[in-house]
Amino acid sequence: MIKNIFKKNSKYSLLTIVIMIILIGYTVSLIYPLLWGFITSFKGTLDYISNPIGLPQKLAFENYMTAYQYFYLTVENGANTEYIYIEEMIMNSLLYSVGGAFFATFTAAITAYATARFKYAFSKVVYWIVIVTMILPIVGNLPSEIQVTKALGLYDSIFGLFVLKANFLGLYYLVFYAMFKAIPKDYEDAAKIDGASNFQIFFRIMLPMAKKIFFTIMLIQFITFWNDYQTPLLYLPTKPTLAVGLFNYSTSTINAISSTPVKLAGALMVFIPIFIVFIFTQKRLMGGMQMGGLKE
Amino acid sequence: MKKIGLFMIMLLTILTLAACNIDRIGEDEDADLGKTQLYIGNFDGGYGDEWLEKVKVRFEEKYKDVSFEEGKKGVQVIIRNSKNFVGVTLQNEIQGLQQDVFFTESVYYYDFVNQGLLLDISDVVEQPLNYEFIDGVENTETETLSIEDKMRQGHIDFLKTPDEAYYGLPFYEANYALIYDVDLFEDELLYFAKDGLGNSFGFITDLEMERSPGPDGDPETIYDNGLPATYEDFFKLADYMVRKNIVPITWAGNVQNYVSSLLTSFWTDFEGREQMMLNYTFDGTAENIVTGFNGDTPVVEAKEITTENGYLTYGNQLGRYHALSFLEQLLANPSYYNSSLVFSPAQTHRDAQDSFLSGKYLSNNDTIGMLIDGTWWQNESGNVFDALEQAYGSDASKENRRFAVMPIPKVDENHLGEYTVYEANFSMAFVNANIDEWKQPLAKAFMQFVHTNESLVEFTKTTNTFRPFEYEMEQNDIDELTPWGQSLYHLHENASYVTPYAYNEVYLKNISTYANELDIWNALVNGDSIYNIPSTAMFNDDVTAKAYFDGLQRFWNKTYWEDRI
Amino acid sequence: MEGNYIDRLKTKFKREKTKNLLFYIVILAFPISQFLVFYVGVNFNSILLAFRGYDIDQGKFYWNGLDNFVKVFNDFQDMALFEIAFKNSIIAFMFGLLFGILFGLLFSYYIYKKLFGHKLFKVVLFIPSIVSSIVMVTIFMQFVESGIPNIIEQIFNIRIMGLLANSDLTFTTILFYNVWIGFGVSTLLYVGAMNSINISIIESAQIDGVNTIQEFRHIIMPLIWPTFTQFVVVSVGAIFMNQLSLYAFYGQGAEVRLYSFGYFLYKEVIVAANVDLPYLATIGIILTFITVPITLVIKWALQKYGPSTE
């Protein structure tokens, strides 16, 4: 590779070499703390105090056991104090993330389909609503959103969050729009000749054609919702998700989990599953993000 | 990448399998249907529940043959610990809760009382302890005192309502203190020698040497002999420690209000009980109101304090100025503390305790002489004591390592005298008003049971802390305490306590401010900025003690007060 | 006969149109309703809230006129925390623009050119996007407070404060953190936009002897300008919404000197009772009215004065 840099007409220039050095620096700056965090999570209390940056003298798996044991939240539910443990938080997270991702993606998809394939004036209106709302900032409408959510009886309900998140605004609408717009009309025409209804055309022909993009966007949304702690913290007071549990865990003053290694064990306990998902889906995930580049 | 993924899956699988056998926190024991259940709600904090578990065993044994409900015999005490059993959260939820009796903190007592949330327990407090609440049971308790007989006057004055009823009792006795390592002080001979003795720095040269009388000025009270009597002594000690490569002091970086609370302790100790109580009663003459400065010297006058001008003690009481001056001098010398820890948001109270406890054993860590923390700290640090004991033997155990409260040094030699302690945290024990009528005698019996001398002593022996009642401990009971617990015993027996409560409209309307460790230090500094953490104001923004004190006066002014009365 | 046929065709056509319209309405019913309630309705309610107060005793909202606006304007002038929040929000934006967007573009260009290690770098840049912010903050905080000082002490034998503990460095460290974790999605979107450039343009430029800097400046940037504009415009729009990850770092307890508006508003809403909502809504409205024209002007300027693809 070094030879290539100095070859004539090499694609390496001063600019790209500088960028490479910065990227190497960035990689080290990211990987090293993650590795340090991982290693530290296996240290005992004294081991960490005496040796904060070296390797553990003895692997303290019990940190993860402690983290697992203390990874809980209490919610007051009428007459009882309910203890919400990690398994229930995982279920809440799965429900919120999968359901939220599905409804958000599906809403964007059907809206994009309708407006891309049906040339009503309203379709243009919807399109421009998306464009305008993307650039029009609305600051501080959270108080109002909470009020409206409570008034509609959607507060403290995972289903309520599905409704809240199922909007067509944003980038993913445009991605679906471009995709559906590009499909030739012939598919529809042929299906209609065979007597297919609009619903059948959508669900059996169009949506399957968008399958790859659909699942990619859903995956991206899934990860976003999985990691989101602020929305469930506000809207799901009695149904904490894993992200909320982690927030509570990381700020907890309970003695057993107040030391650094145990705090890191809890954080990594949540990180590992999503990292596994990432490893096995990274091509699709990152490939999907790349398609979002906009053209005028 | 995929190999990393497979490794992670393997790790996750191992951890998941190992987790299968873990006991869960918080699951109640199963209710025994053959017994009557009494539910206890315990704030999940520094005092733990081990003491309650011991009470449970004895209480259940006492009433094992008594039928409270048809078809059932005996009582089963079910204890639940929760971080939600506290303060305003509990106030909002208690009516819907299953728990009958609570042990908690941060309680605005009259808010609970006025909303009818607490059961009247006047009979529990006023009847002698050998009175039996359960019909048909012969009480074998021999104590003839009542709980009221054992209470501090400050608690009686506050908890007894105008219509002469009691609805709650104080739970624990806690304050924010300077905790010092006795073993280290002895090993390094860090005690002041009696006048005329000692080395050139004024410290003892061997353990037999006679020590200075300490902050109370009385050589007969041995527990404080040799400890710094004045601020000047304290910094002499700190300098001496630095010479010996000891870091004098540490605290939790992400809980700076521990330092603020220590300042409140300094303020209290300077003013003494009577003067400090003016901050709550607004009824009396404040002797130490700063009206100006003559150079660096505060000019002090006496002022009558009423509810109309209660802001004067908050903004102008001399004790606050002295406390801030102490802090300023402490922070001015970076060798007195490790700034990368004591101001780090990543250093928790547990990290601070861990550093304090382990420095002695770990060669590449600081040896630390003192810790700022609450007096319950030893209960919180069990894990690291266990780790140290495992690594270094029984001398490193909680039972054998010696720590003690350092009485607050006095501002100068003219102010030597007794230690006045500010009782922190507004802790309380009470019975839920929603309890079924038939169960009330049982709950009252439990409340009474917890306040017998035997139970109070057991609480102390378990937690190595004290409850704010008078109770008798035999010498062998005292010997069973850890050295830290014994130090608290001296405090319990010798100090004067300020119970920061009063029954008047202004106090009750603003109790959330007086109970708030941060709000109590609100000051307008650097223009219109409200600061409430003196330590970070001084360290980060170079605010001087005088500037902060001026800021206190600017904040606690007539206009502010009028909005609140 | 022919007339019947045409009539039947017309009827069939009309039925087809009706079916299409019905389908269109049905399929859009939920998305449009959701939009009307949770975008239009919420924002309209936000405006209404700004003109209301809350009576604690009666448990009702009442018309307050402009009182909230007067209070907010006065507080903006009098209260140091708002001055700090303004300043920090703008500094964070400039920092993000300079380092985040600039480096994002350069990193994307490097990856687009498929230079040494591009696959690894692409993955590394993306990792913070898939990791929970709490996890990243926990690890980052412990590392900069404990890891880095210990490394420095071991290597250089000098004791330093943690980067967050050191009050001179706290805010910069927070800004650094936000840029450090923020490359993932934007980088990939830029790469996507670069990938959609016709390769023949690049090749003919290379034949003409264009170097890397010239290629980046005169070919890549103009052709991805819409994507770049989008990012800048969204960043401008989010000036007062950016929380700087402060809630993940400090929860409710961040020092006032670190505040951004985004953090202040979120942390206040979490603990807000009804009586507090109108005040917070008013702040939001005022900030929206400040941000919208700025955003539109920036968008217009970037489009008008941006490089031409010609």
Whether A74 and B84 lie within 8 Å, measured CB to CB:
yes
CB-count exposure of residue B394 (10 Å: 0-12, 13-18, 19+): exposed
SS3 at position B317: strand
SS3 at position C199: helix
| Residue A290 confidence (pLDDT) | 56
Do A113 and A34 share a domain, yes or no?
no
**How high does pLDDT run on average in chain B?**
91
Determine the residue among C68, C143, C206, C295 to mutate to test chain A binding: the one whose Cβ has the most chain A Cβ atoms within 10 Å: C143
B21 pLDDT above the threshold of 70: no
Phi/psi region, residue B501 (left: phi>0; alpha: psi -120 to 50; beta: rest), is beta
SS3 at position B406: strand
Identify the bridge partners of residue B422 per DSSP, sorted by sequence position.
Answer: B498
- Say how many residues make up chain A: 296
Whether B345 and C165 lie within 8 Å, measured CB to CB:
yes
Whether B529 and C159 lie within 8 Å, measured CB to CB:
no
Q: Tell whether C1 is within 8 A of chain A (Cβ).
A: no
Q: Which residues in chain B are contacts of C249 at CB distance < 8 A?
A: 345
Cβ–Cβ under 8 Å, residues A218 and A57? no
CB atoms within 10 A of CB A153: 9
Determine the residue among C161, C168, C245 to mutate to test chain B binding: the one whose Cβ has the most chain B Cβ atoms within 10 Å: C161
A104 pLDDT above the threshold of 80: yes
Closest alpha carbon within chain A to B21: A65
Domain ranges of chain B: 36-173+425-472, 184-253+335-377+404-422, 257-330+504-562
Do A232 and A115 share a domain, yes or no?
yes
Q: Tell whether C123 is within 8 A of chain A (Cβ).
A: yes
Whether B15 and A68 lie within 8 Å, measured CB to CB:
yes
Nearest-neighbour CA in chain B from C293: distance (Å) = 31
C200 pLDDT above the threshold of 50: yes
Q: Tell whether C85 is within 8 A of chain A (Cβ).
A: no
Cβ–Cβ under 8 Å, residues A229 and A236? no
> CA separation (Å) from C261 to A140, C241, C267?
9, 6, 10
| Residue A293 confidence (pLDDT) | 41
Cβ–Cβ under 8 Å, residues B490 and B223? yes
Nearest-neighbour CA in chain B from A183: distance (Å) = 36
A65 closest CA partner among A292, A242, A265: A265
Q: Tell whether B345 is within 8 A of chain C (Cβ).
A: yes
Closest alpha carbon within chain A to C264: A140
Q: Which of residues 246-285 of A touch B (CB under 8 A)?
A: 253-256, 258-260, 269, 272-273, 275-276, 279-280, 282
Smallest Cβ–Cβ distance between B340 and the set C81, C159, C250 belongs to C159
Smallest Cβ–Cβ distance between C165 and the set B344, B526, B530 belongs to B344
Smallest Cβ–Cβ distance between B344 and the set C80, C162, C255 belongs to C162
Total domains in chain A come to: 2
B253 closest CA partner among A55, A54, C144, C245: C144
For A83, phi then psi, to 5°, come to: -100, 120
Cα A174 to chain centroid distance, Å, stands at 19
Scored b (16 or more CB within 10 A) or e, A87-103 reads ebbeebbebbbebbbbb
Question: Which of the 8 DSSP states describes residue B408?
Answer: P
ipTM: 0.84
Determine the residue among C38, C76, C220 to mutate to test chain A binding: the one whose Cβ has the most chain A Cβ atoms within 10 Å: C38
A139 pLDDT above the threshold of 90: no
Chain C adjacent subunits, 3+ CB pairs under 8 A:
A, B
User: DSSP alpha helices (H): ranges in A136-258?
Assistant: 142-151, 158-165, 171-181, 186-193, 198-201, 207-209, 211-227, 230-235, 242-250
Whether A167 and C35 lie within 8 Å, measured CB to CB:
yes
Do A93 and A59 share a domain, yes or no?
no
Whether C167 and B340 lie within 8 Å, measured CB to CB:
no
pTM higher than the cut 0.90: no
Overall average pLDDT of the B56-80 stretch? 94
Helix axes C80-95 and C67-78, enclosed angle (nearest 10): 80
One-character DSSP codes across B538-560: HHHH---HHHHHHHHHHHSSHHH
Do A244 and A129 share a domain, yes or no?
yes
Whether B24 and A258 lie within 8 Å, measured CB to CB:
no
> CA separation (Å) from A169 to A130, A166, B295, B553?
5, 9, 66, 53
Question: Which of the 8 DSSP states describes residue B473?
Answer: -
Smallest Cβ–Cβ distance between C164 and the set B338, B344, B541 belongs to B344
A80 pLDDT above the threshold of 80: no
B124 closest CA partner among B133, B136, B135, B113: B133
Q: Which of residues 289-308 of C touch A (CB under 8 A)?
A: 291-292, 295-296, 299
Per-residue pLDDT tens over the stretch C262-306: 999 988 888 777 788 889 989 999 999 899 899 889 888 988 887
- CA A82-A87-A92 angle, 5° bins: 80
Whether C107 and A226 lie within 8 Å, measured CB to CB:
no
Whether A76 and B381 lie within 8 Å, measured CB to CB:
no
- Say how many residues make up chain C: 310
Cβ–Cβ under 8 Å, residues A152 and A215? no
Nearest-neighbour CA in chain B from C142: distance (Å) = 6
Distance CA B489, CA B485 (A): 6
The single residue listed with the structure tokens 């409209």 is B505
Identify the bridge partners of residue B78 per DSSP, sorted by sequence position.
Answer: B39
* Amino acid code (one letter) for B400: N
Q: Which two tokens stand for residue C176?
A: 């650094």
Phi/psi region, residue B87 (left: phi>0; alpha: psi -120 to 50; beta: rest), is left
C59 pLDDT above the threshold of 80: no
Q: Tell whether C205 is within 8 A of chain A (Cβ).
A: no
Distance CA B428, CA B106 (A): 8
CB atoms within 10 A of CB C294: 13
How big is the A-C interface in CB pairs under 8 Å? 296
Q: Which of residues 236-275 of B touch C (CB under 8 A)?
A: 253
Q: Strands C60-63 and C52-55: what pairing? A: antiparallel
Do A53 and A119 share a domain, yes or no?
no
- Say if A19 falls within a structural domain: yes
Cβ–Cβ under 8 Å, residues A59 and A50? no
Determine the residue among B350, B360, B368 to mutate to test chain A binding: the one whose Cβ has the most chain A Cβ atoms within 10 Å: B350
A81 pLDDT above the threshold of 70: no
Distance CA B118, CA B94 (A): 9
| Residue B549 confidence (pLDDT) | 96
Overall average pLDDT of the B394-413 stretch? 93
Nearest-neighbour CA in chain B from A223: distance (Å) = 17
Per-residue pLDDT tens over the stretch B305-362: 999 999 999 999 999 999 999 999 999 999 999 988 899 888 888 889 999 999 988 8
CATH of the domain at A191: 1.10.3720.10
Do A168 and A131 share a domain, yes or no?
yes
- Say if A219 falls within a structural domain: yes
- Say if A43 falls within a structural domain: yes
Point out the least confidently predicted range of A167-181, B2-16, B271-285, B437-451: B2-16
Do A135 and A169 share a domain, yes or no?
yes
| Residue B276 confidence (pLDDT) | 95
Point out the least confidently predicted range of A201-205, A286-290, B322-326, C52-56: A286-290
Do A46 and A94 share a domain, yes or no?
no
- Where is pLDDT greater, at B246 or A74? B246
Fold adopted by B36-173+425-472: D-Maltodextrin-Binding Protein; domain 2 (3.40.190)
Q: Which residues in chain B are contacts of A254 at CB distance < 8 A?
A: 44, 83
Cβ–Cβ under 8 Å, residues C261 and C89? yes
**How high does pLDDT run on average in chain C?**
87
Distance CA B155, CA B134 (A): 27
Whether A233 and C190 lie within 8 Å, measured CB to CB:
no
Nearest-neighbour CA in chain B from C253: distance (Å) = 9
| Residue C310 confidence (pLDDT) | 59
Identify the bridge partners of residue B180 per DSSP, sorted by sequence position.
Answer: B370, B404
Overall average pLDDT of the B167-182 stretch? 95
**How high does pLDDT run on average in chain A?**
85
B403 closest CA partner among B356, B346, B438, B352: B356
- Say if A268 falls within a structural domain: no
Q: Which two tokens stand for residue A220?
A: 């991206």
- Say if A23 falls within a structural domain: yes
- Where is pLDDT greater, at B21 or C272? C272
Overall average pLDDT of the C80-90 stretch? 91
Q: Tell whether B340 is within 8 A of chain C (Cβ).
A: yes
Boundaries of domain holding A163 = 84-251
Scored b (16 or more CB within 10 A) or e, A175-184 reads bbbbbbeebe
